[in-house]
Amino acid sequence: MPSAPWGTEGILRLMAVHAHPDDEASKGAATTARYAAEGVEVLVVTCTGGERGDVLNPAFEVPPGHEFESLAGKRAVRREEMAAAAAALGVAQHWLGFTDSGLPEGDPLPPLDPDAFALVPLEQAAAPLVEAVRRFRPHVITTYDPSGGYPHPDHVYTHTVSMEAWDAAGDPARYVVDGGAPAWTPLKLYYNHGFSLPRLRAVHEAMVGQGLESPFGDWIESRVAREIPERPVTTLVPVAPYFAARDAALIAHASQIDPDGFFFAVPRDVEADVWPWDEYELAATRVPAPTPEDDLFDGIRGTEVAR
């Protein structure tokens, strides 16, 4: 843990809150790499250790001196993977220390384990994130939308604790801790949006047009059939030069990411050509910030609030 305060006065600071190690590589990764390369201080906050994740990469081999059977063994492997991913992105990273809830599967769904992050009472679950916000002092926070973006209890709860920290970190009367950092009010809050329908269609059409097999055909059909309203995308951050850093971060999560799998199904030149952006929804702001925009720091950069 860096010594307090973690953030540097006068330098723009971005905090990306995620549920598990590897989520920072699959959601907004190129954005964090880009801002870090441009001199923004970037801190990835990871709520859980990912210790209930299964091996999702058939080629994964447990690193020497490790095991991937116990929760402690998985936690240790995933910490090493996370460190390599953070290095690939050029960002700092901080664990909140909660335990992965696992993805319940079956009908009826089995109950969560009692140590699960998603069962920790809100005040207790949000407290270390509030403290991290007060120490790092981010101008901008990214998190997930209320659905979690994916029906995993940890993703939904990551949204909940992020909203609590957004509301409470600036209030000195809340989350009062002996020796805690002073209150800090973050200025903009975004939801990550990885796969909007316009993005899926643009990539799908480009691949079909080049005679390639698109991975998105069925997904587009089911999204359209379900008639679920699409969440608004307010912000497209150009990040194509940082796809390589994102890919290196994905590969660093060797137990989770199959180099021949979903995240690598779209040729990078096609992606850079038709969808060179990461997508966000501006969910809340405390500075004037007209949308659409192409920079998470619009309304902050170069103003007196960028302290």
Q: Which residues bind Zn ion (CB under 5 A)?
A: 19-20, 23
Phi, psi of 2 (to 5 degrees): -65, 155
Nearer to Zn ion, 150 or 205 (CB): 150
Report how far residue 209's alpha carbon sits from residue 218's, in angstroms, rounded to the nearest whole number: 17
Nearer to Zn ion, 19 or 189 (CB): 19
Report how far residue 226's alpha carbon sits from residue 221's, in angstroms, rounded to the nearest whole number: 9
Nearer to Zn ion, 20 or 52 (CB): 20
What is the number of helices (H) and of strands (E) in the chain? 9, 7
- Cα dihedral sign, 261-266-272-276: negative
Phi, psi of 115 (to 5 degrees): -85, 5
Nearer to Zn ion, 20 or 78 (CB): 20
Q: How far is the CB of 23 from Zn ion (least distance, A)?
A: 4
Q: How far is the CB of 20 from Zn ion (least distance, A)?
A: 4
Q: How far is the CB of 265 from Zn ion (least distance, A)?
A: 19
Q: Taking a C-beta distance cutoff of 8 angstroms, is the pair 260, 89 a contact?
A: no
Q: Is 18 helix (H, G, I), strand (E, B) or coil?
A: strand
Q: How far is the CB of 155 from Zn ion (least distance, A)?
A: 6
Q: How far is the CB of 124 from Zn ion (least distance, A)?
A: 21
Nearer to Zn ion, 71 or 270 (CB): 71
Place of tokens 């912000």: 235
- Chain residue whose CB lies nearest Zn ion: 20
Q: How far is the CB of 304 from Zn ion (least distance, A)?
A: 37
Nearer to Zn ion, 31 or 101 (CB): 101
Q: Taking a C-beta distance cutoff of 8 angstroms, is the pair 32, 91 a contact?
A: yes
Q: Do the bridges between strand 188-193 and strand 277-285 make them parallel or antiparallel, or are there none, so unpaired?
A: antiparallel
